Amino acid sequence: MEVKEKTSQKKLYLTDDLPFKSAPTTIGKYLLNKLNHLGVEHIFGIPGDYILKFDKLIEEHENIQFIGTTRENTAGYMADAYARARGLGVACITYGVGINIANATAQALVESVPLIIISGAAGSEEFIRCNELHHLINQTTTNYSDTTQLEIFKQITVGQAVIDNQQTAAKDIDTVIEICLRKKKPIYIEIPRNMVDVPIEEHIYHPPPKQISDTNVLEESVQESLKILQQSKQPVIWLGYEVHRFGLSELFLKFAEKYHIPITSTLLGKTVINEDHPLFIGVYQGDLSCDEVREYVESSDCLLAIGTMLNDVNTGIFSAKIDQKNRIFAQSDSMQIGYHHFKEINLGEYLQKLYEDQNSITYNLSFIPASKRNKNSFAAKKNTKITSKAVFDCIETNLRFGDIIVTDIGDCLFGSSEYVLDKGCFVACSFFATLGFGTPGAIATQLASPNQRVIGIVGDGAFQITCTELSTAVRYGIYPIIIVLNNHGYGTERPLIEGEYNDVLDWDYTALTKVFKGGVGIECTTEEEFEKALLKALQDPNQLYILEVELDKTDFSPSLNRFVALVNKAKSQSN
């Protein structure tokens, strides 16, 4: 089976500000047409009886393909990755057992990913007849439905709609999707199975007025920011993920270029802009950063954090020096300058005002762009056991600009964090840190971006969690390269508290190609073997590749070694 459409354009940063007119139709079809109108071409899920009617509608839809996954949580991870590339992702579950998707939903909440979970449910007349129905949880109920699943999703989504009213169905769908796209966070739509085919009348969606900043708040914050910038000798921008999520990358770059301020990014904000850009100096995360970036940022007298989350990962376990007096922290809907806050302020409008300012300064600063820094170059040494460093150097040397790196959590994340990549070409849940996101994430990214090659890098522990999803890659002809760093366990946990629980069984990962009857598996134990395998995979976009790299238990990348040093420092301080 092939994916239906391999040439579609990526539609990034969708917003729900286009009117949408629907002829008389059914509730299920209205929802699908609306999703397709917003750019959705694939919906992930596994079928189950409460959602089967809707699954059938997806199958019959001419512009949307149902992508059957091997289980619910990976359907969630795939829809998440799809949303990161396309601007909106949808996963479809049956009732009850579908809460297997809860963690994927929580991740989308925390990392601001516009994800729609559509769940089937029992029809109210079924429930009234007898509420002891399979898959129902029944911890909390109304007279006509089990509301337990809804209560769970209230904890991990920003909007919920139970489509149980024919009169308001279209409007309820509109409202909750508008919340998803405005907040860039997950929502939950529950459709009792008796409602899927219920007719609805002609319906027009009028987008709500755009949220705009309070004029006075905006003006004061802009003027204060300009004053700080004028006084600053060496400002630096710390770029965050929200600039990607809210579609502000281009505006942001126009602002940064006009002022000529160098840009570092957070780990979660990596590739919000093209990293080949002359203003981009690399990723900053405190003591986890490379020396050049760390020294430049920490010698700055003014830090502009734009769309950045100040979490433990982005701050390098709180080792980042972000206590500059002249700091400006601008987030999607609020900002902080020094020690005071502004509310009701829109990041896009703030950036636009800064960009439009007539008297703006242009800095003339001395720094080395990431693209000009010496890249790790790699040439395989003969008969040399492969190491973690060699793997990352070899990938860096052979990467083509435009290739997409999707990483899991662990050394794969640390080791690839300094690659210089094109815009949108680094995908990782680097904050919420779901182990196992990498493999389904790579497949969905490849599906969403068919004209680029995706390289998924995952540790063996993470790969064991979600590797069955490679079945979906083979089934639909989606061909990323998956590099499995086999360091025989949960490597990143060993420096924390070591124990046998950090080991996993040693698999022959390449043998999965036999299981799935597709793909090419190559085991690599030397530098030459890995280089040869990687080149082969990069040159062959028409096959799934699994490259298993045999590493020692404690062979860490230089980046992970910095993490270990930081952990040990924290340990010794607490003793």
Q: How close are the terminal C-alpha atoms of the chain, in Å?
A: 58
Angle at 122 between CA 118 and CA 126, to 5 degrees: 160
CB < 8 Å & 24+ apart, contacts of 206-212: 206/19, 207/16, 207/17, 207/18, 207/19, 207/178, 208/178, 210/17, 211/182, 211/346, 212/346, 212/349
Beta carbon of residue 214, minimum distance to a copy of itself (angstroms, whole number): 26
Beta carbon of residue 395, minimum distance to a copy of itself (angstroms, whole number): 24
* Residue 272 structure tokens: 């919000």
Beta carbon of residue 512, minimum distance to a copy of itself (angstroms, whole number): 6
**Rounded to whole angstroms, how far apart are CA atoms 292 and 367?**
9
Q: What is the bridge-based pairing of β-strands 20-22 and 203-205?
A: antiparallel
Report helix, strand and coil shares of the chain as percent, to nearest 5.
40, 20, 45
Residue 434's nearest CA partner among 43, 77, 33 is: 77
For a copy of itself, the closer of residues 147 and 452 by Cβ is 147
Beta carbon of residue 10, minimum distance to a copy of itself (angstroms, whole number): 25
Give the range of 3-11, 129-137, 201-209, 288-296 binding a copy of itself by CB under 8 A: 129-137
Answer for the pair 444, 486: CB distance below 8 angstroms, yes or no: no
Give the range of 20-28, 30-38, 127-135, 299-307 binding a copy of itself by CB under 8 A: 127-135
Question: Does residue 417 touch a copy of itself according to CB under 8 A?
Answer: no
Per-residue CA distances from 311 to 268, 273, 317, 479, 492 (Å): 10, 21, 8, 34, 19
Task: Please list every residue from 40 through 79 that binds a copy of itself, using CB under 8 A.
Answer: 45-49, 52-53, 55-56, 58-59, 66, 68, 70-73
Beta carbon of residue 136, minimum distance to a copy of itself (angstroms, whole number): 7
Binding test (CB under 8 A) with a copy of itself, winner from 374, 505, 572, 575: 505
Question: Does residue 198 touch a copy of itself according to CB under 8 A?
Answer: no
Question: Does residue 570 touch a copy of itself according to CB under 8 A?
Answer: no
Binding test (CB under 8 A) with a copy of itself, winner from 170, 191, 512, 547: 512
Residue 524 host element (H or E): strand 520-524
Binding test (CB under 8 A) with a copy of itself, winner from 75, 162, 391, 467: 467
Task: Please list every residue from 513 through 552 that binds a copy of itself, using CB under 8 A.
Answer: 514-517
Number of residues that bind a copy of itself (CB under 8 A): 88
For a copy of itself, the closer of residues 98 and 307 by Cβ is 98
Beta bridge partners of 189: 118, 161
Beta carbon of residue 493, minimum distance to a copy of itself (angstroms, whole number): 6
**Rounded to whole angstroms, how far apart are CA atoms 81 and 442?**
8
Q: What is the bridge-based pairing of β-strands 235-239 and 481-486?
A: unpaired
Question: Does residue 497 touch a copy of itself according to CB under 8 A?
Answer: yes
Question: Does residue 18 touch a copy of itself according to CB under 8 A?
Answer: no
Residue 573 host element (H or E): helix 558-574
For a copy of itself, the closer of residues 68 and 402 by Cβ is 68
Task: Please list every residue from 303 through 332 that binds a copy of itself, using CB under 8 A.
Answer: 309-313, 318
Residue 485's nearest CA partner among 467, 463, 518, 513 is: 463
Residue 78 host element (H or E): helix 72-86
Beta carbon of residue 88, minimum distance to a copy of itself (angstroms, whole number): 21
Question: Does residue 346 touch a copy of itself according to CB under 8 A?
Answer: no
Question: Does residue 504 touch a copy of itself according to CB under 8 A?
Answer: yes
Task: Please list every residue from 149 through 178 that binds a copy of itself, using CB under 8 A.
Answer: 151-152, 155-156
Binding test (CB under 8 A) with a copy of itself, winner from 352, 371, 376, 502: 502
Beta carbon of residue 435, minimum distance to a copy of itself (angstroms, whole number): 7
Task: Please list every residue from 421 through 460 that binds a copy of itself, using CB under 8 A.
Answer: 431-436
